[in-house]
Structures are given as structure tokens and as C-alpha cells.
Amino acid sequence: MKLKYIVVTGGVMSGLGKGITMASIGRILKNRGYEVVPIKIDPYINIDAGTMNPYQHGEVYVLGDGTEVDLDLGHYERFMDVELTRAHNITTGVVYSAVIERERRGDYLGQTVQIIPHVTDEIKARIRGVAEGSNADICLIEIGGTVGDIESMPFLEAVRQMHCEEEESDFILIHLTLVPLTTLGEPKTKPTQHSVKALRELGLQPDIIVCRGRAVLDEAVKRKIAMFCNVKPDAVISAPDTEDIYEVPLLLEREGIATHIMGKLQLEPLKDDRQWMEMVDRSRAAAASSRRIKVAIVGKYTGLEDSYLSIKEALKHAATETGCRVELKWIEAEELEVEAGAGERDKRQLEPLFADIHGMLVPGGFGVRGAEGKIKAIEYARVKKIPFLGLCFGFQLAVIEVARHIAGLEDANSTELTATTPYPVIDLQEEQKGVNDKGGTMRLGDYEIFIRGDTLAERVYQRRKVIERHRHRYEVNPGYIDVIEERGAVFSGTDRSGLRMEILELEGDQHPFFFATQFHPEFKSRPGRPSPPFKAFVEACMRYEAGHRAVQI
């Protein structure tokens, strides 16, 4: 079978859901038996997403090979159940760096190096290299940004050239736009018309237009868009808002997008895989369940929930499989520092905030802002025996909290937060000392974790060796491991050498579920296959909720 290409572009405004739309199309094609490979093109000049503020771009997602990427690649991995690499994310920074390096080496033999053909050739070569090397049947390409942005122009031109170079039945362009409603509820098509006009001025005619909005479009509106945008009415797809993003493939199916794609690419279904539909049914049942747990997420980027997108999705995966409804309570860690007093007064201020929760999660992050607030929250969860899950920086802060209040190392801290701590229980990795570049220099990607027998970690994972993804620069100082463990804390997971601590837990009667990981288990959680730590955490929250409900009765 000849390789097929599907390109997804966006117009009107950013943030409409190109990533979820492309991920959903990939899921639809996989359900029909085809192998797919996704590529994300990000027009920003950054080499990767690693140095970006989460408030600007959402979470930084980490691939197995350690590449720091946009959160859309997380959607691709979750929806399509694929493992991606650095090659699947193309940025302006990567492309221009490669072209400039070639020019410096003299590879262009004295030519004047230009956007066309040199930059566009580099883009096409990267796309085709990934597509052809994947052994996939269909390559899906999302071009980030919005049509009309100057940053996107070279990528759209490269796609235009590819369209000319491929057979008509091997290439399809899908354009995502916004159809807003007036205050009276009237859908307006003019933004879509202008967006498609901008695309056509670049030499690209969409085959399918996916229309985002609050409501389903009626046939009259679809016919109007079709007429002004030069597509068939059945190629105008309505994609209204939905509570659960995992329903989007089913929504697009009902709108007939699969029929149009399969027809244009001259494909026949190879199978009818209904596992995704069954998973969505379980998710709906869980969301409607009378079993409800509330989880507090104590972070420093809670003003933008996409900063913790993979955590939200991992909790949803766990809730689906355990049959309960998870509600999230977002708590800004810095506010705990501002409001907190000392001693009993401190505890009284925290109690109203955490009185209604059944579990606490402290996620990753960097820097001193909010750190002491997170430590206060962790102490509260430990003392009150509330199920606790700490991730990455949350693991490090849990180590600090245990060192201070169980091991008796008063003023223990991380050298990331203060250089003058008398007990640096968290310190810079030896190989990180003297490293000045911030991009791509942390301990990143997949590493093995070896789990101690007869521990909570072994019960959580049901195995003694696992592979999880990392993103950190600091870690537990080996000089303090013994003194921390002497008081009942357990480092139940380590690297192969036994010198890097990966999992912290509290033994037996000290706590029903106090579990923290240096790695990010949320990055490997999948619909229908939840991350073991998240599933165990949700189950612990359910037990805690049931126990408190029984006491109240």
C-alpha cells in the first residue's frame, strides 16, 4: 500500500483543538485496521518545549527518548497508543538549525540559501523520513499555530509542494475553524470563510472543514460553509464542545468524517475495533457513578489546568477502570505560604481547605515559589493519613517533609531552594553541576526502576522492574538515605546502581497510602490502561472516602 498523508491546519484562533482532532482521526483509522504515524509541527523558534513556561504553552510532555514536547504529542500517544520520538516533533528552531549547519559545512555548494527551496526541502525531507521509516500506512501531520501567522508560512508552503508531488488519492487536507454564536445563538460562518480564503491564497484547498463551536451545526449552515469554501456539504463536519475528549472520535464518526477520509484516500476498512467505544462507555458510567472522590492538586500553575494535563488524564483513566467519579480541587501552593501562620494556628487554617478531600496530589514543578506551601500540604496529608501521591518535585518535597518531621533533620531542604540548608537532602545531580544550558539537559525520558520486594511499590506495580519517564535535575542526596529510612520511611524504588532514589513510601501503620515518585508516571498512562500509581492512588482515595462515609453514618 502506498503511503497516505493527512494534514491538519487551523484557522481563526489557536486553542481550538487541532491536536485532539488529529488524535481522534488517528484513532478512527486505527480502529479500521490501519497503522498511523503522527507528526507535530510547531512554528516556534524554540528547539523544543523544554524551556517554556506552562502558563504560555500548557504542560511540557516528555517522550520516551527524553524529548520535551508540546502537550499535543501526549494526546497522540494516548489516543493512538503509539510511542513517539524526537523525530515526530518538528519545530522552526530544529529546521533552521539544520539548514544553517549545512550552509556552514558548505553542503549547498555556494548557493544562496533561501526559504524556498532549502528550508521547505528540509521540512519535506523530515516529514517523509519519519513517515517512510515508520512502516505506517498513513502519516498524520498537524501544523501548529493559525493560518495567517508568519511563523507557519514555510510549513504551509512545504505542504503545498507535497500536495503537488503526491497522487490526489494519497493526500488530504483537513482545516479546523471556529463557528462562533452570537448572543442570540446564531452561528456565524464569516470567520470560517475568511480562514479558508487565507488558506487558498497560499495554494491550499481544504478537502474537509471541521467546525468547532458550542453547538451542533444544522444542515443549512453546513451548506452555506460548503458553498463559500468550495467543499461538498458532507465534508463540513460539526465538532461541538464535549465534556470528555475521548468521545471526540465517536462524535466525528457520527458526522461522517471517516467515510469522507476513506473515500478520498481510496481505503477500505480492514477491521472494526470497538475497544475505544467500550472504554468510552465505561468512562461515562464512571462519570455518572454515585461513588465520588475529591482530589486536591496542590501546585504552582493551577491558574491554567493544562499545565497538569497528563495528570488530569491519568486520574480519568484510573477513575474509568475503578468505576468512580474524580473531582479535582485546585489549590495554589503559594497561597498556603501567605495564609499559613505557625503551629496549631497553621493547622487550623489548613483544615477548612482540605476538610472535604479524599486524596492529595503534589505534582512536578521548579523553583522556590510555592515550595513551602506544598511541604505544609504534604505534612497535613501525612499527619491526617489522607492518601498522598507526589510526582517529581512532589517526591523531592515529600523527602524534605519526612526528613524534617520524621527523621528530625530540622531545616532540611533542597539546594535548588536554598544553598544554605544544613541538611541538603535534595541536591544537584553530580553530572548537572556546571551545566549552564537549560534546554534538554535534565535527566529525561525512559529509565529503569528496580523495586524492593514486599513493599507498597511492589503491590502497586505487581513486578520488580518497570520503566518510567523522567524530567528532573535534582535528586535525593545519598548521604541522607540511611537516616531517613531509620525512621520508617522506605525508598522502595531505585535505579540499577541503587544510588538514585526513585520511589518513597511510608511503612505499615504510619500511613495507608503515602507514595511519591521521582519519575512522571502520568506520561505513560493510557485510556483503558491506567498508570499503576494513579490507579492505586484512586483506589486508596475510594477506601478513605468509604471509611469517612461509614463514620459519618
> Whole-angstrom Cα distance, residue 526 to residue 522?
9
Catalytic annotation on 75? no
> Whole-angstrom Cα distance, residue 523 to residue 445?
10
The candidate with the shortest Cα–Cα distance to 318, out of 517, 469, 459, 521, is 521
Q: Tell me the CB-side half-sphere exposure of residue 252, using CA atoms within 13 A.
A: 28
Catalytic annotation on 520? yes
> Whole-angstrom Cα distance, residue 238 to residue 249?
12
Contacts of 123 (CB under 8 A, 6+ apart): 41, 90, 95, 154, 155, 158
Per the CB < 8 A criterion, the answer to whether 123 and 39 are in contact is no
Of the candidates 475, 522, 539, 545, the residue annotated as catalytic is 522
**In the 3-class helix/strand/coil scheme, how is 68-128 assigned residue by residue?**
EECCHHHHHHHHHCCCCCHHHEEEHHHHHHHHHHHHHHCCCCCCCCCHHHHHHHHHHHHHH
290 class by beta-carbon count within 10 Å (0-12 exposed, 13-18 middle, 19+ buried): exposed
> Whole-angstrom Cα distance, residue 225 to residue 223?
5
- Encoded amino acid at 307, one letter: S
| Residue entry with cell 544510588 | 499
Catalytic annotation on 392? yes
Of the candidates 260, 392, 502, 545, the residue annotated as catalytic is 392
- Provide DSSP, 351-420: HHHHTT-SEEEE----SSTTHHHHHHHHHHHHHTT--EEEETHHHHHHHHHHHHHTS--TTEEETTT-TT
Buried b (16+ CB within 10 A) or exposed e, 453-488: eebbbeebbeeeebebbbbbbbbbbeebbebbeebe
Per the CB < 8 A criterion, the answer to whether 198 and 11 are in contact is yes
Of the candidates 520, 539, 541, 545, the residue annotated as catalytic is 520
Helix, strand or coil for residue 435? coil
Would you please indicate which residues are annotated as catalytic (active-site) residues? Answer: 392, 520, 522
